[in-house]
A and B are shown apart, each in its own frame.
With several copies, the nearest count.
Chain A
Amino acid sequence: MSWDVSAVRRQFPFYANLEHPLHYLDSAATAQMHAAAFEAMGAHDIHARSNVLRGNHRLAEAATLAYEAARASVARFLNASAAEEIVFTSGCTAAINLVAGALAHSLQAGDEILVSLAEHHSNFLPWQRLRERGVLLRALPLDAVGCIDFSRLEVQLGNRCRLIALTHASNVTGALTSAADIAAVVAAARAVGARVLLDGAQRVQHGPVDVRQLGVDFYAFSGHKCFGPTGIGVLWGRREALAELPPFMTGGGMVGRVAIDESSWAEPPRRFEAGTPPIAQAVGLGAVLEWMLALPWERIRAHEEALLLRLLAGLMAIPGVALFGPANAADRLPVIALRLATHHSHDVCQVLDSRGVAVRGGHHCAQLLHRALGVEETVRASLALYSDADDVDALLAALHEAARVLA
């Protein structure tokens, strides 16, 4: 049985309400939101709106239960050991900043952090900033098509490395970091006592993740990229890894005792959730992840891969198209960065938009990766479980058009 795109589109209010045809191929930036999130958030904000954890009237009870149930849903989605390992943040960027900011309190000058040149700025700048504390930033280089070169792991991993932060999938090339490479990174990290963080922002849109099997210590992602609401993100941390971190932000709800001279912190996850959290957004995310948990991911992967191959084949037939990323479909997400001759990506996107094709141009918050590939910007098309062959064909036709219009 194949994956039924029109059925799934009916579950996305975006598609149900589309007035003019639009081929949305920008899901890597923000995916459309599933009905489950609309419904769960709407119902929550009408029937159970209240602050959480701090009151005992019926609405406060209902809100707290809903919020904690969402935490349990995230734990299931990631196969975490316990709901207490899930910290809600405002996004993937905030989750990574949380780890960097909390870790900063115990870093010494000369300690090292290892990243890669493929990282999104959100998984690069927070680590780069630790240089203010004398921390050394090292980076794994890229190969010719923009994939992380793991053969350089041993050379780049110093004895004083405290954390390795890598993307689980590139937002530009779509390259997946393989389970084997992750295992090698984890083993190497263990040997020097470093923690491992994976940036799952792109990966989560394509199915549940098993953090226990991955063996890493931290995993971060955003709701808006996996069919959930904006304003919510997740940091998963292995129990021991979270326990050893002090808070990043402070405020209501994350303390034990407050005195004028000193305060004590609550246990994780509350220690990391200062202030009123994004309650309705957590509830919306929980609902969407439950929906995702029930999907037939093998069929969806086959569908996405078929579209990817169709797209790749069509692109090869367009004169002047240059592609980046892994050649093998199994090693990548259906996310493709390309250049059309020497045309600027924003000019290309403009023409594509006039043809009802929404893709993204620019450096995609990955300037280092682009520079490593010798370009400043690319056009990126990204497919999701609601994409279909029409979308792909429209993109290909529009690229032919763009080549003509911009020549």
Chain B
Amino acid sequence: MNEAIYQQALKDLAQAAHGAGRLAGHDGEALRDNPLCGDRVRIEIVRNAGLITALAQETRGCLLARASASLLGLRVPGQTPEQIAAVARALREMLNGGELAADAWPEWAMFQPVRGHRSRHGCVLLPLEALLQALAA
């Protein structure tokens, strides 16, 4: 049952580490720890005319956190803060047992097997929470 979580696609996404690294200059950043496991995500963003134009992420964590952060690196550039808020809502809903919203990023679907494992929700959410914090700063 569980290894459904660790599908090849998810491992590949984590491995790809989209957006990995730091930005020379940025308009917002946030560092977030998961105190339970010591995992840590740093998010840096550049904003321009209402859009997030670049995102860099540095993630020390499990496959779930790394895949989730990598997805941000892939998908966030070009989005508005409002779109990110909607994405966060959709992800939370899905983790809490709901359907994935039709207009949500389809890659979130690969995190569906995490639903039944409450203790891992935080791993998936950590990068997004860091991003929301960077946006709010």
Contacts and interface: CB of A to CB of B under 8 A. Distances in A.
The answer to A–B direct touch (Cβ < 8 A) is: yes
A233 interface: no
- What secondary structure prevails in chain B residues at the interface with A? mixed
Given A56-B117, A61-B118, A351-B6, A266 B35 contact: yes
Contacts of A53: 36
B35 A347 contact: no
B3 A376 contact: no
A256 interface: yes
B37 interface: yes
B48 interface: no
Given A346-B123, A354-B2, A362 B36 contact: yes
B120 A56 contact: yes
Interface residues of B, number: 22
A61 B119 contact: yes
Interface in B94-137: 117-120, 123
Given A344-B61, A350-B120, A406 B6 contact: yes
B36 A65 contact: no
Contacts of B117: 56, 61, 350
A374 B117 CA distance: 29
Given A266-B35, A346-B123, A376 B2 contact: no
B38 A363 contact: yes
B2 A346 contact: no
B60 interface: yes
A370 B60 CA distance: 15
A55 B118 CA distance: 11
Contact of B3 (A55, A351, A367): A351
Interface of B: 1-3, 5-6, 11, 33, 35-39, 60-64, 117-120, 123
Interface of A: 53-56, 60-61, 64-65, 255-257, 266, 270, 344-347, 350-351, 353-354, 361-363, 367, 370, 376-377, 401, 405-406
Given A344-B37, A346-B123, A362-B37, 14 more contacts: A56-B117, A56-B119, A61-B119, A266-B35, A345-B62, A346-B64, A347-B62, A351-B6, A361-B37, A370-B38, A376-B39, A376-B60, A377-B37, A405-B3
